[in-house]
Chain A
Amino acid sequence: MPFAFVDTLTENFDEFLRGFGITVQLVVVSFVIAMAVGTLIAAFRVAPNPWLQRIGGLYVECFRNIPLLVLIFISYPGLRRAGVDISAFVAGVASLGLYTAAYVAEALRSGVFSVSKGQIEASLSLGFTYPETMRRIILPQAFRTVISPLGSLIIAMIKNSAILGGSILALDDLLKTGRVIASRTFDVIPAFVWAAAGYLILTGLATLAIRMLETRYAVKR
Chain B
Amino acid sequence: MTSFAAFGWLTEGNNLRFILEGFLINLQIAVVAIVLALIAGLGLALLRLSRNRVVSVVTGIWVDVFRNLPLLLLILFLFLWIPTSARDTWEDVMPSWMPEAWQSGLMLAGLSGLVLYNSAVLAEIMRAGIQSLPRGQSEAAQALGLNYRQAMRHVILPQGLRRMVPATVSQLITLTKDTTLVSIIAIVEVMRRARTVTATSGNPFTGGGTEAPILEVFLFVGLLFIIFNYALSRLSRRLEIREKERSGSKPDIEVRGLEEQVA
Q: Which residues of A contact B (CB under 8 A)?
A: 61-62, 64-71, 73-74, 77-79, 81-84, 99-100, 103, 106-107, 149, 152-153, 155-163, 166-167, 175, 178-179, 182-183, 188-189, 192, 195-196, 199-200, 203-204
Interchain Cβ contacts under 8 Å between A and B, 12 examples: A65-B177, A66-B177, A69-B183, A74-B222, A78-B214, A78-B219, A107-B260, A152-B261, A153-B260, A155-B261, A178-B73, A200-B69
The CA of A74 and the CA of B71, in the complex, are separated in Å by: 21
The CA of A68 and the CA of B177, in the complex, are separated in Å by: 8
Interface residues of B in 45-97 (CB under 8 A from A): 65, 68-73, 76-77, 80-81
- Partner among A64, A69, A159, A182 whose Cβ is within 8 Å of the Cβ of B70: A159
Q: Which residues of B contact A (CB under 8 A)?
A: 1-2, 65, 68-73, 76-77, 80-81, 173, 176-178, 180-181, 183-184, 191, 194, 213-215, 218-219, 221-222, 225-226, 228-230, 233, 258, 260-263
Set of chain A residues within 8 Å of B2, measured between Cβ atoms: 82-83
Interface of chain A, main secondary structure: helix
Shortest CB–CB separation between residue A36 and chain B, in angstroms? Answer: 17
The CA of A159 and the CA of B214, in the complex, are separated in Å by: 27
Interface of chain B, main secondary structure: helix
Shortest CB–CB separation between residue B252 and chain A, in angstroms? Answer: 11
Q: Assess A100 versus B263: contact at CB under 8 Å? Given A167-B184, A188-B81.
A: yes
- Partner among A64, A70, A175, A182 whose Cβ is within 8 Å of the Cβ of B191: A70
Set of chain B residues within 8 Å of A62, measured between Cβ atoms: 222, 226
Closest to A161 in B: B70
Set of chain A residues within 8 Å of B71, measured between Cβ atoms: 159, 162
The CA of A100 and the CA of B261, in the complex, are separated in Å by: 10
Set of chain B residues within 8 Å of A163, measured between Cβ atoms: 70, 72, 181
